[in-house]
Structure 1
Amino acid sequence: MTAQTTPAYTDILYEVDGPLAVITLNRPDRLNAWTQVMEDEMHAAMLQAEADEAVRAIIVTGAGRGFCAGADMGLLSGAAESQGTREPRAAEAVSDDNFDQKFSYMLKLKTPVIAAINGPVAGIGLCMVLFTDLRFMAEGAKLTTAFARRGLIAEHGSSWMLPRLIGNMNALELLFSGRLVGTAEAERLGLVRSLPAEGFLDAVKTYARELVTTSSPRSIGVMKGQVYRAMFQNLSTAWDEANRLMVESFESEDFREGVSHFVEKRAPAFTGR
């Protein structure tokens, strides 16, 4: 199927390629440095993909040789220079909904979100990546938290999510040092899966297509919700929820198809319902 590109965005590209929606951070001349426009457009594109019944996975990648260099340093420089002439910046207002923060909204999407880290990623770009479901990183790429080297702190939910992904000590070491971490080390930490740089995005797409073809989209969406809600539940609550969801699964089209294709020894044709 030919990919279809949506022309309405300025700092990102959005295209649908079969069952995949691909969001490309698109400021290659600035290593896709983060802007408010980019943030707003990415949020809108995520919701656009979630609403499209044909889309079964979302891939986020970067244009050119980088993924995201972090916040646009021009904007940070302006903020630093103005601090002596005006009142301190007010803290950003946030919702009290765990799944309604700057990046945590991705956790409540039923569609799996896959980061295809094609090049350097730092700061807020890395924070965003932490809230994707699966992370693939090209060999030779590097990541950094960067905050401590800019006189900043662990922002945008990174102090909450990073330890849950790689443990407290590893998270603190990366946050304290702000050092560069290569693909091989990031994989050893359990933060990413490594893929060759040659043909990287095509390899991520191949993985995603196979995933959403061989596994029920309904099952994927339900299990994604279970995992992230469980972060705020005790065991008995998560167990009770799983029992209820299993009964609901028995009534689904995808359950019937899952049994049928196995018995008939053919490829599945899941509907997501």
Structure 2
Amino acid sequence: MNLLKTFAAAALSVAAVSAHAASVEAFQNATVQPAGVRTGNNGINFFNIEGIDYGNFASYGVARFDVASLKSQFDAQYGVNGWVVDSISLSLTQSNASFTANGAVEVFFTNADTTAIVSPSALKYPFAGDFADALWVTAYDFVEVSSGTLETYGLYDRTASNNAGAQALAADILADTLVTLALVEGDSGVAATYAGYNNNTYAGPTLNIAVSAVPEADSWLMVLAGLSVISLSLRRNVR
């Protein structure tokens, strides 16, 4: 049993070598309405997703992140190409209004990092067609609590089965320094109201990324060899 515990601990150590997590707030966000990107302070102080029931105020949200500083941290710790993305999540802070209403929200990834999301911009609600390459990542139910309430939603988990959107998001973080996400109505009556990056009270949309070192091949070989010895020992004990 001591041998089993030793190699089990070694396996866990190799699987989670010096995990490192860091976060970055969006440097741009937009509320995109039928007339275009919302302008003025409210266009950057807040981040709204409103269903078609709201007519001219219907909107989807776009947030853009610069992950260059995070990648520099990871490179400094593990070396260039020496780390893998373990998980990605998105944090949003409620900043509710009189029209805020519960409902479903969907999250999409797009690689269109050069598309302007601040005025002047060609973007207009509805979302369909604005980002031809958009891939669905996840959906969640927005539930109004109170302003200042932090929500966090998982977008990618290396240990889980990920859809094409989640995989593309993780690959994008490895490939370049900008990440663009769009949040879109899942229900016609939803009105999710969040703080934008320029909000004076709360943090704007925040991307959380956890990484770990690329396991060395010889370390894994040692673990596998140890597990083989344990397996053989257990068979002998059974006899």
If the length of structure 1 is used for normalisation, what is the TM-score? Answer: 0.26
Bigger proportion of residues as helix: 1
Structure with larger RCO (C-alpha < 8 A, sep 6+): 2
The structure whose Rg is larger is: 2
